[in-house]
Structure formats: structure tokens, C-alpha cells
Amino acid sequence: MNKKRGFLGSLVYGLKWGLLCGLLSSLPAGAVDRSAKIKDLHHKSWGASDGLPGEVIGVVQTTDGYIWVHTKAGPYRFDGIRFESLASVCQCDRDDATDGWIYASKGGLWIESYYGISRFANDQITAYTVSKACGTATKMEEDLDGIPWALGQSGVCALKGQREFDVIPTPGMPTVTPADIFSDSKGTLWIKNTDGSLYSRARGVSSFRLSQSGSSDAESLTGQSSHTMAQTPDGILWDSGYFGLRRIYEGAEDVDKHPVHFFGAHLNTHRFDRLKPVSLLGTTEMTGVILGDREGSLWLSVRSGLIRVNSPLTLGESKHGNGSLSVYTPEDGLSWDVVWCIFEDREGNIWVGTTSGLDRFSPETFHKAPFPQNRQTQFAIGLSEHGTVYAGNHDTPLAKLNARGIHKFPSLREADTELIHEAADHTIWVARSDEVWKKNGDRFDKVPLPGKWLDARPLAMANAADGSLWVSFQAHGVYRFFEGKWTDETSVLGLRELSTSPAFGSDSAGTIWIAGTKTLYEYRDGRTTKYPLHDKPIVSWDLQAYGDHIWLGGLQQLGLVIDRKLHVIRGEGGENFQRISGVVELPSGDVWFNWDKGAGLVRADEIQRSLKDTNYRVSFQTFSTSDGFEGYGDMSRAPTALLSDDGLVWMATNKGVFWIDPTEYSKRAGTPPPDVAIETLMTSSQLLSVQGNRKLRPNPSNLEIHYTALNFAAPEEVQFQYRLAGVDQHWQVAGTRHEAFYNKLSPGRYTFSVIARNPGGMWSPKPSNFSFQVLPAYYQTWWFRSLLLVLAIGVIWLLFHAQMERSRSEVRGRLSARLQERERIARELHDTLLQGFHGLMFRFQAVSEMLETPDIAGPVLNEALDKADALMIESRERIRDLRYESEQVLPLPEALGAAAEQMSREYSISFKAIVDGTTVSLTPPSARGDLSHRQGSVAQCFSAQ
């Protein structure tokens, strides 16, 4: 901000944005408490370091739940975690850096900038023209009929046709420069002009009517161009400006008897007919932007910052009436003292835009007791009656407090409180580092200790059924105080490990329970009974007995003892609940505990599920700084968590004493979980919007899916789980992370699902889904794979054919070698054996001719020579077969016939051959083998005759 402008100039400049922050929606459970002062609310701010540039001059919420923040750099969308510029959201090249405005309607987000008037919806921007007669539009308002109205320099403008805003006739209202426009709960349209006149047009009526209030104050309002109007749920219209804050009263004679539904309440609507200025901060303070929240309070900007009026109807009606007014300035944490805009979202959070940034006010989950600042030492707390507790520490004297305030005790002005205990008869006992005090009426009396110990630090206190006080002292054991006397009960109880395990308590029947490292001790009616707790040593610091069960909080566990058996409760995400210093069980069965990570809550149904399944890990909630809970509980001051009789849970830490109303919190936490919005898909080379193209390029790498849940009270506590169908078999726990990451997705269609859990522990009833497709590369398509298959088959066939040809060639080679070998053998037989045999036959012939009796031996010798000739012929044929295997032989019938014919001449037997069937030609080797076999058979037949 330019400080030279001053507050007045800044206010004149900024008032025109006020109405844009005045639209409200239905009443949720999280609305800001009307009785709370601004300082009682949880405050958080954002600025340039958080990604929000420039002055915040407008805040609205669109129907999809997003908060839109208008800055000098243009509109930014906000989900409670991160800011995104309009150009980034719409993925368009657009620069809306201007002093324009934004307005949210059912049809989307309206934007006025250098581009004129535009509307952003469904990730698309639609441009509208503005006529010259209308000029630059300064504000917009949508009436109950969904008609957008704009204030131009020359009058009131409305949408004419589809894409143009133009000045429209305003019968009953002169042509003047309008300064403000407002549509009330009944649909009446109010126009405030720069001359101070106020006109209204009822719903369904075409003409405007001058309000009686406007003319009476025209002189004081002349020239005042920047102001705004607002309406509270009771139907009263309020006006703010240089004159201060004014209430427009209804006319009693014109009260409408028919109620209209407004912000969840049935209210009478009225005709507003006269103005009455009221006093703020003792003077007629100049006010700026104004908001009437759903609880009936008024929020206003003033010279010093921000004001909240809890009961505006009391303004000016009593001598000192200030309507429960509270002020919030930069000294209290406001980002700047110049406020441009005040807005209430659907959850009831209050948003304030200033010169330096954005502020949010929301109900505190935990409330801090107003103790003075101390050295951050652990507080001790103890119960009392009527919703009060006692608290103190080494730096703060003992005090009695409740949700409304603190009362100190003069008799205990000194600090150094160690333990506070309330007996069954409501007697209050206070232990300090070396003494014990007993409350009598409104004063405390000192009780002498049993011995002169240098270190008598008390570790725990409890009451037995007879009303006696039991105290465990560090390094000294357990002592009983009864009827003014101390007795050492350490040996009676049979304790040997109390100095290292001070968990110590009693139940409603007066039974004393002590948790050792491995043993649970029960002392009743003078008898001590021991029960084994755990096979490994455990250190317990807080013991709370509830009838038939006991809760143990300690160094390593949150334990539940039922039927003298210990059940260890473990949390999801590997949480084991360590360093617990206080445990409280509500009548509903819910358990609150104080541990080193803040305040914790486990619901009753989760505990029951854990008891049935020892491996089950319970869902739980943790409350920390963002919930108004600060610090941690020191186990040496256990118990640090208590339940007062008015139902409040109190917890003590090193930062103070805090309380929460579990019933009210359950109402707020029981609201439906936030809607989950899947925003974008992003890879290393592509950005997709959920409203646009849903196809990813082939082989996406480093895929990021961004999602969010629109919860603005505690967005940093919303938990997520997601799953990508086809990739994730189970839900993936994302915690508070707003991104999911994947890599190397195959081509195909995918559905991404995400659910959210609100701070109250409720999960989304159904997931938000987003389907998209990963396109295949050319080598991942079906036709390319089919082509590869055909090519592969062809290659295999060619390889097979080549192999067969190779095999045939090898066979032919082997046959050729065999034939060559046969020819060689045949040649040798022919050239040697047969030639020799042939020479022998010639000699036999010569011998035959030399015989003396040729007529007797000659025929026999000639026959032998004939057989030798036949044998010679057959040998030649066999040798020829070795050479020419392909030669044909006589058919079998003819060959057998020839053999039989020869045999018949030799044995003088008649012979006849009969052929039946078809003859088959055989290859020479097989034919000759078969012929030899048949000839042998024929010879046997002839010889047998």
C-alpha cells in the first residue's frame, strides 16, 4: 500500500469492493460463535510469501466450493492450501492485472478487468461487451431470479441479449450515478446513489420506489460515493459509509407477515424506510466495508482495522451500549489496517482482504484459558464442581477457572504447583514440591509431610473408599493420610517398582489401582491383589478407572485394561501413541488423550473394533496449533487431561490450559466430509484439465494427478486416499498430500479415484472419479502388432523352408556318397572276383573237352557250366544294382514264372502261373530281395516233389 494515500483515500478506493463479499450460503455447524470476540477466533493470514501477490480487494466463493481472491495482479483460485492464477486454471494466456472486481453467481465467476466483463465457468472464459452508455461497470449483483445486474457510470445495467450489458430504464428513479447495489432476502433490489438517495424495487415489480429514509439524510451523504449495504439474518438492512454505521428500520405498518427462508431461519422481511446513525467506539466512526454474518453479527472495517459487533441491535440503545463490540488490529495479528473486503464462506469462516494479504477467522477447536504469560512450564490441573477446574504451575499461582474466566486464591499466592486432586467428597488437595495443601472453604491449609525429606516430590494422589488420601512420593514410596496421620503403605501394598511407574488412581468405589511396569495392583478392604499386565516392562504415567475397565497412558502405549488384561491400542500409519500424560473417556465411549504430538481423539467404534481384532489399527485425530492447542503434556504432571462435570475436556501443557466442548466439536466434525475435486493431470510434456481433453500422449512419464478437498476451516488436516484402477490393488494412503504420482503407464483407459477424510474423521461416502486414456505409440497399436505377427510367421516359414532344403541337400549328399562307394565296390568286384570266376569257368570248359567219356560227364559238366553262367549273369546284375539303383527289374509274376519254368525243366514237373490282382512295381533293391525270397520258396516246392 502507498501510505501517502491515507486511510480516507484508501477507504474511498476500497469501499466499492465490499458488497462483493456479502453473499452468504446455508448455515453450517462451523459458523463463528456469536458470543466470541475476534481474538477468541482462530486466525491465519496469507501474503506474498504464500503465493498471493498484491492487495486483496475481493473475495468470493463459487458454486464448486473454491475461494477466489481478487488482487491487483488478477484473480487467484484458493483451495485452502495453494493459490493458482486464473491463467493457470484456464490454461490460457490472459493478464487480468487491474483494479477490477470479481463476483460469484450460479453461472460462474464474473470478472471485470481490462478485457471488460467476462465469465469463467467449466474452465472456459466467455467475454461480454459493455455498451458505451453503461461505461465501466463498478459492481455486480445477482437477484433471486438469477438476473445479473451491473452498476455503470450512467446508470443501472443489465444483460441484454446473450453477450452485452446495457443501461436499462429505471422507472421511478432519476438518472444518477449509482454507488451500491444489493439484493435482500426477499428479492428486493436496493440501489444507493452517490447523492445519498436510496431506491428499492420489489421482486416482480418493474418500477423503483424512493425510500423515505434517503431524502432526510441527503445533505450528509451528498458526494459520498463509496459505501456498502448488508443484511443480518433478522432481516434488518445496514448501511455503512462516511457517516458511520446506519440501521434502516422497518415500517411497522408495512411488516410482511409471511416468513421467507433465509440462511436456514424463517424470518419476517420488511420495508426499510428510515435511517438512524449509531455510535461505534464512542463516536460516529467512519466505517467501510460491512458484512452481516449468519450468526447475526456485523463485521466492519474502520480506521484502526476490523470490528465485530456481536449484537448490533444494542448499538446506541443504552448509555454505554456497544453491542459486544470487539476490535482486531495489526497489533493483534491482522495483516494490515486497511480492509478492502469482508466475506463469509459456506462453512462460516470469515475472510478479510487487506492491503497486505488475506486473513481468515474461524472457530477455535480448543480454547485457551487466559493465564498470564509464563516461562512455559507444565501446568497441573484438577477437577472441581460446577464445571470448574483448578490449575497452576511453577510460575503461576493456583487458580480456579472455567470456560468464562479465572479466579485466583489469595491463600496460595505462591506458585510451584505439582499436582491437584479432587477427592470423592469434593475436597481439593494440592501438592507442591515439598508440601501438601488441603482446601477448606475458600482457603487452603498446609498439611505437614510424614518426614523431613529433602526431596518429597509427589508423583500421584488417589482416594480410598474410607476417605483417606494416598500419595506416592518420589524415592519414598506410598503413604496414606487419614485422620491427620501419615502411614507408610509401601510394604502393605507389596510394591517394589512404584518409583519408576507412578500411574496411580482410584475408581468410584474407592479401590486403589496402581500400574507397575509388569503388574497391576488392586488394593481393596486392606488387601492387595496382583495381576500380570505385560510380559515386557511398560511405563505408565496416567491411570483412569471407569467401572469395569481402566485406561493407561504412558511412555510407550495407550492401554485399556478389561478383565485385568491389557489391550494396547495402536493407530493407523504405524502410530503407537507414545508419551501419553492424560486420558479421558467420555460417556459416549470416545477417548481423548494428551500426548507429545498434541491432543488426540479415538472414537468409541474404533476402540471396539480394536478390541475384536488385536491387529487392527484405529483411525484417530490429532489437534495442534492450527486447532488452538499449543505445547505438549509433561508426563511428570499426570494426569494432564480431565473431564469436568459440565462435559468439557480440559488439558494442560507447557503452554497453558486448554478446553474443548466435545459435543459442539462433534456437531462440527459431523458435517459431511469435503467434496474432493480432481484438478489436473500433468506429465513431463503435457498438462490436462479435467474439463478438457482426457487423452494422454503415448508413454507418459512422471504422471502427477493433482486433487484437493475444499475444507477451509482446517484444510491442512484433511486426509486423502486414492487408487488408480488397473494399477493399484488397494487404496493408497496419501495423508495430507494433494498429489498422486505414477510412471510408465501402458496404453489403455484408466479411472482415478480419490476420497477425503475431514478433521472429524468422516470419509467421503463415495469417491471422486476421473477417467482418462493413455494413447498408444504406433508400435503399441493392434495393427502394428498384427503386422509384426505376420512378419514373424513369414520369417519362421522362410527359416523352416531353408532348414528343410538344407536337410534335403544333406540327404542328397549322403546318398551320392553312398552310391559312389557302391560303384567303387562294384567296380572292384567286377574287375577282380567276376573276372577270376569267369577265367575259372573257361578252365572248366577246357577240362570238359579233355574228358575221356564226354558223353557221360559232358552233360553234367555242361549243366554246371550253365548254372555258373547264370550265376555270373546274376552277379553282374547285382553289381549293376550297386551302380544303378534306379534300374527297373522284371515284374514279380514274370520273374517267378521264369524261375519256375527253369525248375520245371530240371525236375520234369509241369508248372502254371496264375496272376490275381494288380501288379506293383518295386524299387530294384526291394524287388530283388523279394524275388530272391520268392525264388527260394519256388525251389523248395519243386525239390519237395
Give the number of other Cβ atoms within 10 Å of residue 311's Cβ: 17
How would residue 795 be classed by pLDDT, with cut points 50, 70 and 90? very high
CA distance 495 to 895: 124
Q: How far apart are CA 748 and CA 726, in angstroms?
A: 10
Can you give the pLDDT at residue 935? 63
Mean pLDDT, to the nearest integer, of 29-52? 83
Residue 409: band (very low, low, confident or very high) from pLDDT cuts 50, 70, 90: low
**What's residue 50's pLDDT?**
93
Identical fold for domains 224-363 and 368-670, yes or no, is yes
Instruction: Enumerate the domain spans of the chain.
Output: 224-363, 368-670, 676-780, 781-823
Average pLDDT over residues 14-33: 43
424 - beta bridge partners? none
Half-sphere exposure of 396 (CA within 13 A, CB side): 28
Give me the phi and psi of 12, to 5 degrees please.
-60, -40
SS3 818: helix
Length of the chain, in residues = 945
Spatial separation of the C-alpha atoms in residues 507 and 523, rounded to whole Å: 11
Cβ-defined contacts of 300-303 (< 8 Å, 24+): 300/240, 300/245, 300/342, 301/11, 301/14, 301/18, 301/338, 301/339, 301/340, 301/342, 302/327, 303/7, 303/337
Distance CA 513, CA 879 (A): 120
- Residue 262: band (very low, low, confident or very high) from pLDDT cuts 50, 70, 90: very low
> Phi and psi for 352 in degrees, rounded to 5?
-125, 125
For residue 247, give the C-alpha cell: 440501521
Q: For domain 224-363, is the CATH number 2.40.50.140? A: no
Minimum mean pLDDT range among 173-187, 450-464, 737-751, 754-768? 450-464
Fold type of domain 368-670: Methylamine Dehydrogenase; Chain H (2.130.10)
Q: What is the Cα Rg of the chain in Å?
A: 53
Q: What is the CATH number of domain 676-780?
A: 2.60.40.10
- pLDDT, tens digit (0-9, with 9 covering 90-100), for 818-837: 878 877 777 776 666 666 66
Question: Do residues 618 and 568 touch, judged by C-beta distance below 8 A?
Answer: no
Predicted confidence (pLDDT) per residue in 521-531, tens digit? 888 887 888 88
pLDDT tens string 479-511 = 888 888 888 887 766 665 544 556 788 888 888
Under 8 Å between Cβ of 76 and 351: no
Tell whether the model's pLDDT for residue 205 goes beyond 50: yes
Residue 103 has a pLDDT of 92
The DSSP result for 36-55, as a single string, is: --GGGSEEEEE-GGGT--S-
Give just the sign of the alpha carbon dihedral 624, 628, 633, 639.
negative
Whole-number Å distance between alpha carbons of 278 and 945: 159
| Residue 67 identity | I
For residue 595, count CB atoms less than 10 angstroms from its CB and return exposed for 0-12, middle for 13-18, buried for 19 or more.
buried
Kindly state the DSSP code that residue 31 receives in the 8-state scheme.
P
H or E segment to which residue 250 belongs = strand 244-250
Between CA 840 and CA 832 the distance in angstroms is 12
575: which strand partners? Answer: 571
| Residue 38 CB-half CA count within 13 A | 25
Distances (CA, A) of 347 to 76, 184, 234, 310, 671: 20, 21, 20, 19, 10
Task: Report pLDDT for 848.
Answer: 66
Residue that has been written with the C-alpha cell 475435486 in this structure:
677
Q: Which helix (H) or strand (E) holds 621?
A: strand 621-623
Query: CB–CB of 398/417 below 8 Å?
Result: yes
Q: Is the pLDDT of residue 279 over 60?
A: no
Amino acid occupying residue 175: T
Distance CA 505, CA 362 (A): 38
Query: Distance between CA atoms of 61 and 68, rounded to whole angstroms?
Result: 6
Burial of residue 13 (CB within 10 Å: 0-12, 13-18, 19+) is: middle
Q: Which three cell numbers stand for residue 337?
A: 489496517
**711/80 Cα distance (integer angstroms):** 7
Query: What's the whole-number average pLDDT of the chain?
Result: 78
Instruction: Report pLDDT for 706.
Output: 93
Query: Helices 782-828 & 854-883, crossing angle to 10 degrees?
Result: 150
Per-residue confidence (pLDDT) for residue 269, from 0 to 100: 29
The pTM (predicted TM-score) of the whole model is 0.72
**Top-ranked range on mean pLDDT: pick from 486-495, 567-576, 583-592:** 583-592
pLDDT, residue 256, reads 33
Residue 847, pLDDT score: 67
Residue 653, strand partner residues: 656
